[in-house]
Structure 1
Amino acid sequence: MARLTQRLLLALLMLAGASSATAQEAPVLLVAHTGVDTRQLTRDTTRAIFAMRQRTWPDGQAVRVFVLANDHPVHARFAKERLAVYPHQLQLAWDRMVFSGTGQAPNRVTTQAEMRERLASTPGALGYLEREYLDDRVQVITMD
């Protein structure tokens, strides 16, 4: 009986590990309003936009940046995987701009569903979503 319990426990642990690994493998995609003409951004440009240093799209349209809370797992994955920075580094950059009066922090949303709605309804908007939240009201921007 003890051996069966150990096997079940080991199997459950393996399943839990596999499911969390699978969840982490799903990419967080860069997503914009459908009216944005840009279809591809470099990592450096994307990082500059999310650090609020670049405020316009290449065509001159204002960028409206939307982010989830610093402690949201999707925000953390986006910052680390796509921007190659930690969430606290972004927050420090935003705080510096706000406190110095040289810029603004991005717009915060609480959920990915809210993110999708704000991206779809705000011209020039840029944010990020997991694939399951995509629909035809937003477009994916590829990163090279």
Structure 2
Amino acid sequence: MGIHFCSLLAAATLLFAVSGSASAELVVIVSARSPATSLSSDQVAAIFLGQAGRLPDGADVVALDQRIGSSERDQFYRQVAGKTPALLKAHWSKMVFTGRGQPPREALDGSTVRRMVAENPSMIGYVDRSALDGSVRPVLVLR
């Protein structure tokens, strides 16, 4: 039984190490032409959960999500809103059913998010830090 326990412990440790290293450093981005320079995690959560449609300066903002099932999306909502995919689905089901909102539009991947946000100063999205370029500005770094 001791060998079996050690094998399980080793497998669990390896799984934790692999899943921990798979986390990306995500950044919340706006267009380089946007007046926004920084946002708090609570402000970002309110925007992406349909509870706020404006930036602190009063400018309209439109959230853009990564695709359902992507690791970036799951990590983003876990870090910013404390929501698992199931809790997020329940949140949006309630919002849609009560007529209080629609979920953010989805983009295929991080490069699509970056391109769409860069082209539209009223959009906000999130990408892996490695996807940053001069066309977008980070307003929140998630660690």
What TM-score does the superposition give when structure 2 sets the normalisation length? 0.78
User: Which residue in the other structure is 1:140 paired with?
Assistant: 138
Q: Deviations over 1:84-103 (max 9, x none)?
A: 22233233222222222222
Cα displacement (A) at 1:54: 0.4
The count of aligned residue pairs is 131
Partner of 1:70: helix, strand, or coil? Answer: coil
User: Which residue in the other structure is 1:51 paired with?
Assistant: 49
Alignment of 1:26-105 (within 5 A): 26-105=24-103
Percent identity for Structure 1 against Structure 2? 25
The answer to whether the 8 A contact 2:27-2:141 is kept is no
The answer to whether the 8 A contact 1:35-1:124 is kept is no
Shift in alpha-carbon separation, 1:18–1:96, aligned structure 2, 3 A: closer
Cα displacement (A) at 1:60: 1.5
Cα displacement (A) at 1:143: 5.7
Cα displacement (A) at 1:138: 0.7
Shift in alpha-carbon separation, 1:94–1:122, aligned structure 2, 3 A: farther
Cα displacement (A) at 1:35: 2.6
Aligned counterparts of 1:124 and 1:41: Cα–Cα separation in 2: 14
The answer to whether the 8 A contact 1:40-1:143 is kept is no
Query: Structure 1: any 5+ residue segments left out of the alignment?
Result: 1-9
Q: Deviations over 1:12-61 (max 9, x none)?
A: xx6x975653332x311111122322222222221111101101111211
Report the AA paired with residue 137 of structure 2.
Q
Task: Name whichever of 98-107 and 54-63 sits farther off.
Answer: 98-107
Aligned counterparts of 1:61 and 1:85: Cα–Cα separation in 2: 26
Partner of 1:94: helix, strand, or coil? Answer: helix
Q: Deviations over 1:73-130 (max 9, x none)?
A: 1101111123322233233222222222222221111111111111111221111000
User: Which residue in the other structure is 1:21 paired with?
Assistant: 20
Aligned counterparts of 1:115 and 1:127: Cα–Cα separation in 2: 6
RMSD: 2.4
Task: Name whichever of 43-52 and 78-87 sits farther off.
Answer: 78-87
Greater CA radius of gyration, 1 or 2?
1
